[in-house]
Chain A
Amino acid sequence: MGASILIAEDEPFIVESLNFLLTRAGHRVDAVDTGSRALQAMRGHRPDLLLLDIMLPETNGFDVLRRLRGEPELADMPVMILTAKGQEADRNRMIELGADDFVTKPFSNKDLLSRVEMLLEGGRAARGSTPSR
C-alpha cells in the first residue's frame, strides 16, 4: 500500500532523486522547500512520514521537529531526518527532539528506502494498537 510522504528539502536535485525513488516504491510524494511550508502542509494534511532536512531556510529542521512534536495531531508522526551532520551530539539532540531515524548525506538509495519502509511499518503498527501516543 502506498503511503503519503512529505519531503522538506531545499536542494532541488535531492528532492528530485527522493521523489523518483519514493514514487517508484509506490508512495505519494509532496515536497516543500522551507520549514514553515512544511509545518503548513502537515497541518492541512497529515502525511504518513516526514523526510526532513536539517539545514532548511527560514525555520530550520530542529525547529520544525520541536514544533510539530508540540502539536497533538502531529506528535506521533514518524520523522526521518536528512542530515549532513553525523556527529554524536547532533544525533542526540535530534533524538531528544523526537526524531525517529536519520539518513546521513550522501545517502545510499537502498539504505534510505529500507529505513523509510521500516518507519512506515512502525507508524502503521503504532496507529493500529494505540491511537494516540
Chain B
Amino acid sequence: MTRIAIGRRIRESRMDAGVTQTDLAKAIGISPSYLNLIEHDKRLIGGALLKRIAGALDTPLAVLSGANDAPLASEVAELARSLSFRGLDEAAASRFTGQYPDWANAFVQLHRRYRDATETALALSDRLSQDPALMELSHAVLTQISAIRSFAEIMEQYPDLEPAERERFCGIIADQSDRLGSSAREMIALLDGARNAPTPTSPQSEVDDFIHHCDNHLPRLEEAADALRARLETSIEMLPAAIENRLVRTHGLTIRRGRANIDRRDVRRHDLVLLDEEALDATHRFQLARTLADLELGDVTEELVADDRLTSDESRDIARRAMANYAAGALLFPYDAFHDEAEATRYDIDRLAQRFGGSFEQIAHRLVTLRRPDAQGVPFAFLRADPAGNISKPFSIAGLRMPRLGGACPLWAVYAAQATPDRTVSQLAEMPSGEQFLFIARSQSKRAPVYGRAQARFSVMLGCDVVYGERVVYFDSYASGRASLATPVGFNCRSCPRSACAQRAQAAIISAPTPPGGAPPAAPRMDEAEAGGPESREQSRKQGLASTART
C-alpha cells in the first residue's frame, strides 16, 4: 500500500495545538532537529514514535498516520499511471496525497467525472449508429425531406401541371413538412432521454469506496442477521427451508419456480418470489435470503446507506443492493460458525460451499467479510471479471491493490481460470516488488446450461498475502518455497516493469525499479539477446503454474 507522507500533518497538528517544535521534541524524547526532519518528510516514521507524537498532541493516531488516506493515495497513483503522466510515480502520489488530501480527492473526483463523460460520449455515439429507434427516425426524416424537395422542384420545373396535380403535390409537401416536424421532435426527445440512459460509473466507485471504508465488514448488519436467524430458531442445515417458510407463513409470499425475467431486480413483485428455474440452487437460496433480509433488515440497511459518502440516489441504490447481498450472506453463513469452519478447513472454499450450501462466489465473498476484530479471518482481496475482462466488485487489501480502471495483469489467475471453467485454480503470484500473493480463482456460471442460450460467466478471485499461506489449504502446493513455483506478474501493464513479458498489452510508463541502495537499474534485459530463451521459459512456467487445485 502506498505510504503517506505525514510530516505536514504532524506539523499542522502541532501548530494547531500551539506547541513549539522544541517542546514537542522534548515531550517525546527526540531532538528538535530530528523532529524537524520528520515534519519535512525527510524521515519516515511510524509505530511507537508516531503514537507518542499523537499522544503528546492529543490527536487521533489515524489523523496523523493518514491511514484513512491510503486508498486515496493508491487511487491517485493508479490514475497517474493510467493517464500516462510521466514522473508521477507512487512516491509522488503519496507525497501529494499526504500534503494536500483535499486536492488529491478533488483530482480523483474530477477523473471520475471525466471517465463518466467519456463513457457517456461513447454510449451516445454507439447509440447514433446502432439504436434502431434513432436509425428508423433518421430514415424517416430523410424520406420526408426527399419527398418535399422532389415535389417542390417539380412545382418549379413543370409549369404546365394540371390544377389537380398541383393541388395534390402541394398537399404532399404540406403533409411531409408536418411529419418532418414531428420526426424532428421525436428525435430530440430521444436524444434528450439518452442523457440519462448510460449508467455512470462513479456511483459504483462511491459504493466501492464506502465498502472499503467499512473494511467490508458491517457489524450492524451482522448483528441484525444474527438476531433474525435467532428468530428463525433453526440449524444451519435447515436454514434455507426456514427462510422459505418464513417468507410464506409470516410475510404471505408465494414462491414459484419458473422462467425468470432476465432482469433479476424485477423478479420480486408484490407477493410473488419467482425463482429462475435455470439458476443454481445456491442462487435460489441466496435470493430467498436476500428477500427476507429486504423485508426484515430494511431499517438497518437504510441507516447504513444514509452515510455522507454516498452522495446520490444512484449510489445509495447500488449500496442498498450491496447491503442486501451482504445481509443475505450474513444470514446464510453465520459469522461465528462460518469463521470457525473456514479456519478448520483452512479456507477450503469447496468444502465451505458444501457445508453451507453456497456457490464459490458467495463463499468467497463471505470470506472477505470476516474482519470482526475478535475473530478475524485471513484478509482476502476480491475481484470478479467477465470473459471480456470487465471488472466488478474490486476489494483491495494491504499490498494487493485491485484495479478499478481497465484490467488487471493478464497473467492473474482470475483470467487463467476462464480456460478451465468450474475448476478452482491457484497461483503464487509474484509482484515486481518481490511481494508474493496467493491467488485462488474459479470461473463459474450462475445458471444451468440451456441449449441455445449464452451462459453468463464470471471468474471470481480471492487473493491473500503469502504470510497467511500456512492457514490456507491452497498454499500447500507452494509450501516448498522454491522460486520456480511463483508466477512473475504485475498489477497492470502500465505499472509493470517486466519488459520481456509476452502478454504485455500496453507500454509501461515506469522503468525497472531502482534496487535499494541506489544502484542503477539492471542493464535492460540482457536476456532478450538469448533468442527464445528466458522469455519462452518464463512463459511455459506461467502457463504451468495456473495449476488446477482440488475441485
Contacts and interface: CB of A to CB of B under 8 A. Distances in A.
A joins B in a complex: yes
Contact of B149 (A16, A55, A108): A108
A16 B143 CA distance: 13
Interface stretch (A17-25, A61-69, A71-79): A17-25
Interface in A100-133: 105-110
Nearest to B168: A16
B542 to A, nearest CB: 41
Interface in B100-144: 138-139, 142-143
A106 B158 contact: no
A13 B154 contact: no
B56 to A, nearest CB: 73
A95 interface: no
Nearest to A9: B143
A16 B151 CA distance: 9
Contacts of B176: 13
Contacts of A20: 154, 165
A105 B154 contact: no
A105 B151 contact: no
B501 interface: no
A16 B145 CA distance: 14
Nearest to B153: A109
A18 B146 CA distance: 11
B146 A106 contact: yes
Interface in A3-36: 11, 13-14, 16-18, 20-21, 24
B31 interface: no
Given A11-B147, A24-B158, A108 B142 contact: no
Contacts of B143: 11, 13-14, 84, 105
B172 interface: yes
B20 interface: no
Contacts of B153: 108-110
A19 to B, nearest CB: 11
Contacts of B158: 24
Nearest to A84: B142
A109 B172 CA distance: 16
A107 B139 contact: no
A106 B150 contact: yes
B172 A105 contact: no
B531 to A, nearest CB: 42
B235 interface: no
Given A11-B147, A17-B150, A109 B157 contact: yes
A18 B145 CA distance: 14
* Most B C-beta atoms less than 10 A away, residue of A21, A84, A106, A107: A106
Contacts of B148: 106
A34 B235 CA distance: 68
A35 to B, nearest CB: 16
Contacts of B172: 13, 16
Main secondary structure of the interface of A (DSSP, over half): helix
Contacts of A11: 143, 146-147
Contacts of B154: 17, 20-21, 109
Contacts of B151: 13, 17
Contact of A106 (B138, B142, B165): B142
A101 to B, nearest CB: 17
Contacts of A105: 142-143, 145-146
A108 B138 CA distance: 19
A106 B139 contact: no
A107 B142 CA distance: 10
A20 B161 CA distance: 11
Given A13-B176, A14-B150, A84-B139, A106 B157 contact: no
Contacts of A110: 153, 157
* Most A C-beta atoms less than 10 A away, residue of B150, B153, B158: B150
Contacts of A108: 149, 153
Contacts of B145: 105-106
B245 to A, nearest CB: 55
A70 B443 CA distance: 48
A34 to B, nearest CB: 16
Interface in B224-279: none
Contacts of B142: 84, 105-106
Interface in B313-347: none
A59 to B, nearest CB: 17
A48 to B, nearest CB: 22
B324 to A, nearest CB: 47
B157 to A, nearest CB: 6
A93 B148 CA distance: 29
Given A55-B139, A84-B139, A14 B146 contact: yes
Nearest to B144: A13
B65 to A, nearest CB: 59
A55 B148 CA distance: 19
Contacts of B139: 55, 84
A69 B550 CA distance: 61
Nearest to A17: B150
A55 B146 CA distance: 14
A109 B176 CA distance: 17
B307 to A, nearest CB: 50
B147 A107 contact: no
Interface string B142-182: 11011111110110011000000100000010001000000
B178 to A, nearest CB: 13
Given A105-B142, A108-B149, 5 more contacts: A13-B176, A55-B139, A105-B145, A106-B146, A110-B153
Interface of B: 138-139, 142-143, 145-151, 153-154, 157-158, 165, 172, 176
The 6 A-B residue pairs with the shortest CB-CB distance, nearest first, are A17-B150, A106-B146, A13-B147, A105-B146, A106-B149, A84-B142
23 contacts: A13-B172, A14-B143, A16-B172, A17-B147, A17-B151, A20-B165, A21-B154, A24-B158, A55-B139, A84-B138, A84-B139, A105-B145, A106-B142, A106-B145, A106-B148, A106-B150, A107-B146, A107-B149, A108-B153, A109-B150, A109-B153, A109-B154, A109-B157
